[in-house]
């Protein structure tokens, strides 16, 4: 990669992260090195792109205009390189934002064929159970569940996850096994990240729809924590089938109210707004959509 092209890519990451240190880490540079490269770019252009203080780095008006013009060109260049190769080979860096549990249980086990097909591609998995700032963290594609908030980002549905209620056999032996949705009101409830509405769960059987009112004394922001709590016998949890399949198979958890269905959650590949989608991000979403359909 030419020095100028490298400097342009570094500039866009400093602009999006607001930090020479963070952008430098992404490019395996020290903060001083990242700052020197951008300063040299500013000298070449003949204008100041950033306002620097001890507390923050922010774009100048000229810098914001430059960013708006440069980002589409960088993506277009990557598209052109990809098309010129004509081999389907994808290169560069792909940053994927996703929850830790979904990464460990579903995505990473499916990565080997994709990595083997694209040996010149580097992949950063940004595993976080909280939703990432796509532009600020330089995420090329994020995997998200359920309803998406109003956003200008582009989203593509790549699968559907069936949600279910599960609990440890020991808990059910002690507290009793619910036979109707109304029985849930008398049980300990664990709210995990897929618990959705904290006050009620909607269940369906045939043409019957029941809204079960629930109260929880334990809320856990990560799916792995919620599943661990259920295995420990702390109550009933709502989770995607993928999130507890191993525990169901081992007998550590069993399904509660198996005759009733919870609302399923769609899985979306979300691409950041304001810039063209990387070929690598499209290829990854295509691959994962096929892989998830074969579960």
92-98: strand order across its sheet: 121-127, 92-98, 141-145, 265-271, 154-161
Q: Are strands 121-127 and 141-145 parallel, antiparallel or unpaired?
A: unpaired
- The pLDDT, as a whole number, for residue 7 is 92
Q: What is the pLDDT of residue 120?
A: 85
Q: From first to last of the 295 residues of the chain, give the pLDDT tens digit.
A: 578 889 998 998 888 888 899 888 888 899 999 999 999 999 999 999 999 888 888 899 998 889 888 887 887 787 777 667 655 668 788 989 999 889 999 999 999 999 998 888 889 899 987 776 777 677 889 998 877 765 656 889 998 888 999 999 999 999 999 999 999 999 999 998 865 556 788 999 998 999 998 888 899 988 899 999 999 999 999 998 888 999 999 999 999 999 999 988 889 999 987 666 888 899 999 999 999 887 6
Global confidence as pTM: 0.72
Domains assigned to the chain: 1-86 (1.10.10.10), 90-160+264-295 (3.40.190.10), 163-263 (3.40.190.290)
């Amino acid at each position: 990669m030419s020095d100028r092209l490298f400097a342009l890519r570094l500039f866009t990451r400093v602009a999006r992260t607001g930090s020479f240190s963070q952008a430098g880490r992404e490019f395996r540079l020290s903060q001083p090195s990242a700052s020197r490269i951008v300063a040299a770019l500013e000298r070449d252009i003949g204008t100041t792109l950033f306002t620097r203080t001890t507390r923050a780095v922010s774009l100048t008006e000229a810098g914001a205009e430059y960013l708006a013009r440069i980002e589409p060109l960088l993506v277009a260049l990557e598209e052109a390189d990809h098309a010129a190769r004509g081999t389907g080979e994808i290169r560069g860096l792909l940053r994927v934002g996703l929850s830790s549990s979904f990464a460990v249980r579903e995505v990473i086990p499916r990565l080997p064929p994709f990595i083997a097909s694209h040996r010149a591609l580097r992949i950063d998995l940004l595993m976080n159970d909280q939703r990432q700032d796509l532009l600020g963290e330089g995420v090329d594609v994020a995997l998200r569940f359920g309803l998406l908030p109003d956003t200008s980002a582009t989203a593509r549905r790549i699968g559907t996850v069936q949600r279910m209620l599960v609990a440890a056999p020991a808990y059910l032996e002690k507290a009793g096994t619910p036979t109707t949705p109304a029985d849930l009101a008398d049980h300990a409830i664990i709210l995990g990240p897929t618990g959705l509405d904290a006050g009620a769960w909607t269940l369906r059987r045939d043409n019957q729809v029941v809204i079960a009112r629930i109260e929880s004394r334990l809320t856990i922001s990560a799916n792995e924590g919620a599943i661990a709590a259920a295995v420990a016998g702390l109550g009933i949890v709502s989770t995607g089938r993928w999130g507890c399949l191993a525990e169901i198979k081992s007998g550590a958890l069993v399904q509660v109210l198996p005759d009733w269905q919870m609302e399923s959650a769609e899985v979306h590949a979300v691409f950041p707004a304001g810039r063209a989608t990387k070929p690598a991000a499209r290829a990854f979403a295509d691959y994962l959509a096929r892989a998830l359909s074969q579960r």
